[in-house]
Structure 1
Amino acid sequence: MAKLQVTAKTKIFRIEIVLVDAEPLIRRVVEVPGDMSLAVLHQVVQAAMGWQNAHLYEFDIHRVRYGPPDPDWDDGVVDDSAVTLSRLVGAGDTAGYVYDFGDDWQHLLTVEAVTAPEPGVRYPRCVDGQGACPPEDVGGVPGYAEFVEGLGDPAHPEHTELVEWWGSDRVDPHHFDLAAADRALERLAWTPLPAGRA
């Protein structure tokens, strides 16, 4: 499959992704081409947040649900590979995104701005963020809080079990590595706008 190209007509969407109700705050800010499908935006969210793409997901935009189609069941979900970001939202709009219907990780995506592309810049890219991504299968936001508390307290009744599961007694919920989050998006890169084409 040929790499997609950023052109002078491409609109770049700056999107803040917030993991709802998580403490401390877990957020990422990404910049993506507006012509990106929601299916690829899902991959951007996964990579930037630090998820492992091991569970189902769904977007909710203007009360319409988007996600991967299920050929065996018509559940009213619109095929997310058939729609682009720019056709659904603009600056100031929000979208819901849920990952893992068991753990129910709710995310709020907010389009902070829509701008022209910068020549030579790789998109998508992660430009800001904070907070560590919770581990998969930890039990959602409440389970993550218990996980952090249990790992940090040797007297906690589940401390030993959590250390065995995690492989360590250390976790830093405030840790965020911007360079690593941005590197995780390299595999999704569009060919940059050449210099002199802005």
Structure 2
Amino acid sequence: MACMENDSAAMGGKPESMLEVRVELVDSDPKIWRQLEVRGSLTLDRVHQTLQTAFGWEDMHLHRFTADDPFAPLRTVDGQMPETLQWLPRQECVETDDRPEEDLALAQLLALGGGAAFYEYDFGDSWLHRLELVSQRTWSEGTSPARVLDGTRRGPLEDSGGFPGYEELLEALADPAHPDHAESVEWVAEITDSDEPFDPAFWDVESVNHALAAQAHARN
């Protein structure tokens, strides 16, 4: 079925806001998170691109936004399990409750979730990110639409098997005596296109913000 079209009111009439949002990979240990400053009117398709850059993803898989935790236990209504309302790229909307991410702004999604929301990337590895509104201020002309303020650790590698697979990969990389060490080193070099030793703790905020600025410039 076709997507349900934009059910949200326009942002017009209210001053433009800059939102400070903490985004954390659910179940990461040690924690992997980013502190972002994002224009509230940014539509979810552009928020998706921002999150991909902030966590080092390659946009190789499907994704979705939800106002509530999509994996939290749900209570049946009239004997049926309610569907989770989700926002997807317009071309991926197939179910009745699917809605196009291009039609909803970040501020609106966070309002629907009471100040929090979720972003899932790669439905196989299921990298679930929790977005939480920290603060907001009035947007100033000339301010970048999205930038990273802080964060820790690089995002997991694409296709590494979710956290169980990623943890096994890190164990193999850290131990030269591990039977999968050589194969893991070779696989990481291919994925990262680098022969440098893989450091899961390394993360460079300046390079991320440079990439975000380039994205914004390309749209102008």
CA contact (8 A) 2:36 2:146 kept: yes
**Structure 1 match to 2:100:** 79
Q: 1:109 maps to which residue?
A: 131
| Correspondence 1:66 to 2:87 | yes
Q: Contact between 2:34 and 2:54, CA under 8 Å: does it hold in 1?
A: yes
For normalisation by structure 2, the TM-score amounts to 0.76
1:152–1:169 Cα contact (<8 Å) kept: no
How much has 1:188 moved relative to structure 2?
3.6
- Which structure shows the bigger proportion of residues in helix conformation? 2
Q: How many residues end up aligned between the 2 structures?
A: 183
Of the three residues 120, 123, 132, the one matched with 2:154 is 132
Pick aligned residue for 1:122 from 144, 147, 162: 144
1:52 and 2:58 aligned: yes
Q: Any stretches of 5+ residues in structure 1 without a counterpart?
A: 1-7, 191-198
Q: Displacement of 1:189 after TM fit?
A: 2.5
Cα distance in 2, alignment partners of residues 139 and 71 from structure 1: 23
From 29, 35, 43, the counterpart of 2:41:
35
SS at match of 1:21: coil
1:179 equivalent in alignment to 2:206: yes
What 5-or-longer segments of structure 2 have no aligned partner?
1-13, 69-83, 190-194
> Does the 8 A contact of 2:42 with 2:145 survive in 1?
no
Contact 1:67 1:80 in 2 (8 A): yes
| CA 1:175–1:103: 2 relative to 1, 3 Å | same
Amino acid paired to 1:60: T
Computed over aligned residues only, the root mean square deviation of the Cα atoms, in angstroms, reads: 2.2
In structure 1, which of residues 71, 93, 103 is the aligned counterpart of residue 115 of structure 2?
A: 93
Question: Aligned letter for 2:139?
Answer: P
Check whether the contact 1:92–1:111 (CA below 8 A) recurs between aligned residues. Answer: no
Distance 2:108 2:127 in 1: 25
Give the equivalent residue in structure 1 for 2:8: none
Q: Percent identity?
A: 35
Cα shift readout 1:87-121 (whole Å, capped 9, x = no counterpart): 23249611111100111111111111111124543
Is the Cα contact below 8 Å between 2:90 and 2:102 reproduced in 1? no
Q: Tell me how far 1:76 sits from its aligned partner.
A: 2.5
How many Å separate the matches in 1 of 2:103 and 2:20?
21
Match for 2:183 among 158, 161, 167? 161
